[in-house]
Structure 1
Amino acid sequence: MYLVRWLICLIQLWIQLEPAGSVSSIDSLLIEIPNGKLRGRDNGHYYSFESIPYAEPPTGDLRFEAPQPYKQQWSDAFNATQEPALCMQWNQFINGDNKLLGVEDCLTVNVYRPKNSSRNTFPVVANFHGGAFMFGGPRQYGHENIMSEGNVILVTIGYRLGPLGFASTGDANLSGNFGLKDQRLALLWIKQNIASFGGEPDNILVIGHSAGGASVHLQMLHEDFRNVAKAAISFSGNALDPWVVQQGGRGRAFELGRIVGCGQTSDSLKLKKCLKSKSASEIVSAVRSFLVFSYVPFTPFGPVVEPADAPEAFITQHPIDIIQSGKFAQIPWALSYTTEDGGYNAALLLEKQSSTGQELIEELNDRWFDWAPYLLFYRDSMTTIKDMDDCSRKLRQEYLGDRRFNVESYLDLQRLFTDVLFKNSVQVAVDLHRKYGKSPVYAFVYDNPAELGVGQILSRRTDVNFGTVHGDDVFLIFNVPFVPAIRRPDEKIISRNFIKMLEFFALSPNDSLTYGDCVFQNNVGSKAYVEDSY
């Protein structure tokens, strides 16, 4: 009896000492949502809840269909401590001939909540990973940097990629954009469930890098996106980049069928039925047949304009037409590029070939008219071969004049890639939103080269000064496996400023965007396009 009384007194004392409003670590790990309870992991300075399904597995009859909300009920607590699986993909950054990774059942979200005794709820940052709509995944954009700051909940999202996510015959039978529909459903899940994790459903900032940034912009083309997101940021990618919404998807879908053994059918229903009978690995491995050399083009399967009669169509008009109609989400939006974004896919031309010892860039002198339309994504937008050749000739003359393609002229080629694939569309997008939108639009360019980035990795060399390449900014926000964990003093400051920028943008009462002491200028209402540099 004495022992029981002693335990009761001890419990009462613990309750009195526990700070008001705080929750024990054990209780904080057990979260209840409509599907039941789920248990996460205590990681010291933050909690993680990973691999939470938001959609039914897109397998069997649900392959090549719009995602279905996850409806299963858990009788026991769901184990949310498992690292998120990669969606099946043909990954550019895997060495060797076999670049296959991942699984087909991958539609999950991951929630990371900081431990911060100064607040009970947190603004939310939802991130779409990059990877050219072909590869990548949530775990490749690590959360440690953001959690170290301790002021926002981060949610990362898995979505279908490559042919499984974007194969399209251009008709209602196989309309495509399944990966974008996955993202949309995941955002609705976040809106509906994030309060259970301590998130503020009215303060959700949606961000993305590269294909993730383009995805953010594409999601904005739905007016009801404003019911989910308070603001959005697209880093080095928007819906108007030439590699995003492409033509020629129908031909690639039927070619995919031919490669995996579906014959020469021109019937999209038969093709879809046949593709559903094949293994996911067989379908994804067929990506290698669409590459002209190396990983070019880097997006053989991506977003398309769907027909108006497609069930649950994502977009049925080109993004420019949607923006000009004014029927898009009116929320604050920022978009950016890096000064040498084009180092992604230009740098691979500097890799020395084992057979000849020469760089691939030398082959451009003989193959420019063959390769340029694939490298720069205008092959399917031109009516004739003459149109393609004229475009190739014009670009070469504008950026290189009469010089040959070689290591000495590489930086001019990289500048061409930057302009065509990333930079030019930023100004077009800002001007369109400035003219047809009402909410703030911000634009900035980032220039601060990393010690090791995509340029060095793709070229396999460190003797070239690539400048500030694709990802050098975002890889200071997220932890990326191939980027050194030890950062320069200036990069540590930039990293913190970027993360603070996200936090403040999610909470800003007047929709302003700030970086450190700098306040970005809103392009809406300005007389000309304004681009801030950092």
Structure 2
Amino acid sequence: MNSKTFLIVLLFVCSANAAFSDLINVFVTLPNGNLRGRENENHYSYESIPYAEPPLGQLRFEPPQPYNRIWDETFQATQPPVNCLQWSQLIEEEDKLTGQEDCLTVNVYKPKNKLHHSFPVVVDIHGGFFMFGGASNDGHEMFMNSGKVILVKINYRLGPIGFLSTGDTILPGNLGLKDQRLALQWVKNNIAQFGGNPHKILVMGLDAGGASVHIHLMNQAFNKVATAAVSISGNALNPWAVQDGAARRAFELGRVVGCGLLDSSEELKACLKAKDASQIVRAVENFLILDYIPFTPFGPVVEPSSVKDAIITQHPIDILKSGNFSTVRWLTSYVEQDGGYNAALFLKKEYDGDELLEELNKRWYDLAPLLLYYRDMINNIEALDEHSLKIRELYMKNEKFSTKTYPQLTRMFTDILFKTGVELSLMLQRSKTSVYAYLYSNPATSGLGQWLAKRDDIELGTVHGDDFSLMFKNSIRQQERKDEILISSSLIKMIEDFVKDGILQFGNCEFQPNIAGGKYRVMHIEREGCSNLQMKTLL
């Protein structure tokens, strides 16, 4: 055989081996049977794999049931994930209904990296403030381009379908969180079949995803599932994360969809099970007083202690004070103008040309308790108004809400809805386990803030999600600058190292753990670089 012929044969063999390797990776065997994924340019994808029985019919408003069906034929895990039924803020049309009720799936993405036989695993719990969003909204491409981890994205029930609660054992709530818990157990049990390391799992998420991660940390059993956790711009102590007043909203929803003025949880549950799911979700519109405000009318609650397999039976702040929480290493964060998520909406102009900001001047005492989530924490009207006045005086002094005072409005929303929860959780957890934090300060040129405000003539600062979208691309962020590309690479490496080796570092800056006593420590990430800061608390 001459050298030319030998080279051709060698190339053919190598090509055949590569094709065979790809074929092997496309097929995966699970306890349910065989499934087939899809080969992509730099990764393999296995999408829309059920982890729970479809929550339809009599399974609506019930805890998720594990998916134990046996596949007679190869399951085709090649269909993109469908989001759960929701009234979505991300839809700009008047009719915001999207998704489907049969949606409890996991989606696995594995890099084509022959240097790794077993990959660390990153699980993404999507954001959307427990009301909207889905696995399809968080792009996996950046992690696949890096090629160091397997990425898993999960869907869970949202809005009233996932979080309706009457505060008793009939409708205790937190079904969306129970979906997540079952999905995480599925990942633990099955990820090795995809080439993942079940002993190196990091769970992370934005806003509701971050708060969900933190709520799961309230249970010591989380140690058996995860080795690291990341909550980005959302944790369990944010006032929107775990709310009171759920029973009132549940019975009001029943009235809205035609169940009548009920006072029985059994009757409400039976009536809602008989309704069309889209009718229940459309009722969300009745709980929004202005645009998509308040952004979480239905979310997690404290369940009665008698509920079997409850997620939490105490408020997270009481759990943290008791010390009965998971010791999994935890990173939390906020961005400098996180509250721009709420504030930017008020920059939108109405049909007469006035900004929605004017509504705050006209209706402050009506809007503030809903905007800042203390309506159900204070029962006395006079005390409620007094609290609203104190907040306005603290942040606005004697000034009116306007484009000129917009930074003060943003700071108010940032402090109350995001930053204070970070500070308090760090102070309560740091005596028992390793907890870290970062502050991100680098405004996007065209991100969520501009999309919400529908204008670009006002400096919005670093708005909610400006950091997360550099790890998980979304359709709202229109462009990335050179500095953001570098930051993106460092953020992804930060997550990869955290799950792989327990090292937490951004670029050349190593995170400092928070320790008991004194100021809390934050890694400050900005355009020019990074630095460790010691911060005074707002508390």
TM-score, with structure 1 as normaliser: 0.95
Asked if 1:522 is matched to 2:513, the reply is yes
Q: What aligned pairs does 1:46-61 form with structure 2 within 5 A after superposition? A: 46-61=43-58
**1: CA distance between counterparts of 2:18 and 2:169?**
52
For residue 337 of structure 1, what is the aligned residue in structure 2? 334
- Structure 1 residues without counterparts, runs of 5 or longer: 1-8
Asked if 1:367 is matched to 2:363, the reply is yes
Secondary structure at the counterpart of residue 303 of structure 1: coil
Secondary structure at the counterpart of residue 333 of structure 2: strand
For residue 27 of structure 2, what is the aligned residue in structure 1? 30
User: Would you say the 8 A contact 1:114–1:152 is kept in 2?
Assistant: yes
Q: What aligned pairs does 1:68-79 form with structure 2 within 5 A after superposition? A: 68-79=65-76
**1: CA distance between counterparts of 2:10 and 2:398?**
83
Match of 2:394 among 391, 395, 398: 398
Cα distance, 1:411–1:528 mapped onto 2, change above 3 Å? closer
Secondary structure at the counterpart of residue 324 of structure 2: coil
Asked if 1:134 is matched to 2:131, the reply is yes
* AA at the equivalent of 1:370: D
* AA at the equivalent of 2:456: T
**1: CA distance between counterparts of 2:467 and 2:133?**
17
For residue 497 of structure 2, what is the aligned residue in structure 1? 504
**2: CA distance between counterparts of 1:512 and 1:332?**
10
For residue 428 of structure 1, what is the aligned residue in structure 2? 424
Structure 1 vs Structure 2: percent identity of aligned residues?
Answer: 53
- 1:212 deviation in Å? 0.4
For residue 228 of structure 1, what is the aligned residue in structure 2? 225
Match of 2:197 among 197, 200, 204: 200
Match of 2:379 among 380, 383, 398: 383
User: Would you say the 8 A contact 1:32–1:196 is kept in 2?
Assistant: yes
Q: Deviations over 1:293-315 (max 9, x none)?
A: 11111000000000111232111
Q: What's the Cα RMSD here?
A: 1.9
Q: Deviations over 1:262-287 (max 9, x none)?
A: 11110101100110000110000000
Secondary structure at the counterpart of residue 495 of structure 1: helix
User: Would you say the 8 A contact 1:351–1:461 is kept in 2?
Assistant: yes
**2: CA distance between counterparts of 1:330 and 1:171?**
30
Q: Deviations over 1:102-142 (max 9, x none)?
A: 00000000000000121111110000000010000011011
- 1:21 deviation in Å? 11
User: Would you say the 8 A contact 2:254–2:272 is kept in 1?
Assistant: yes
For residue 529 of structure 2, what is the aligned residue in structure 1? none
For residue 312 of structure 1, what is the aligned residue in structure 2? 309
- 1:41 deviation in Å? 0.6
Runs of 4 or more consecutive aligned structure 1 residues displaced over 4 Å after TM superposition: 12-23
- 1:512 deviation in Å? 3.3
User: Would you say the 8 A contact 1:143–1:478 is kept in 2?
Assistant: yes
Deviates more, 1:88-97 or 1:156-165: 88-97
**1: CA distance between counterparts of 2:440 and 2:18?**
41
For residue 409 of structure 1, what is the aligned residue in structure 2? 405
Cα distance, 1:14–1:191 mapped onto 2, change above 3 Å? farther
User: Would you say the 8 A contact 1:173–1:310 is kept in 2?
Assistant: no
Match of 1:84 among 81, 92, 113: 81
**2: CA distance between counterparts of 1:370 and 1:64?**
32
- Structure 2 residues without counterparts, runs of 5 or longer: 1-5, 526-539
**1: CA distance between counterparts of 2:139 and 2:201?**
19
* Residues paired across the two proteins, number: 520
Cα distance, 1:519–1:233 mapped onto 2, change above 3 Å? same
* AA at the equivalent of 2:404: E
- 1:97 deviation in Å? 1.9
* AA at the equivalent of 1:388: L
User: Would you say the 8 A contact 1:439–1:524 is kept in 2?
Assistant: no
Q: Deviations over 1:475-533 (max 9, x none)?
A: 0001101112x42111111111011011100012xx33111111100013564311221
TM-score, with structure 2 as normaliser: 0.94
User: Would you say the 8 A contact 1:22–1:117 is kept in 2?
Assistant: no
**2: CA distance between counterparts of 1:426 and 1:349?**
25
**2: CA distance between counterparts of 1:467 and 1:285?**
33
User: Would you say the 8 A contact 1:21–1:120 is kept in 2?
Assistant: no
**1: CA distance between counterparts of 2:91 and 2:205?**
22
Q: What aligned pairs does 1:451-490 form with structure 2 within 5 A after superposition? A: 451-484=445-478, 486-490=479-483
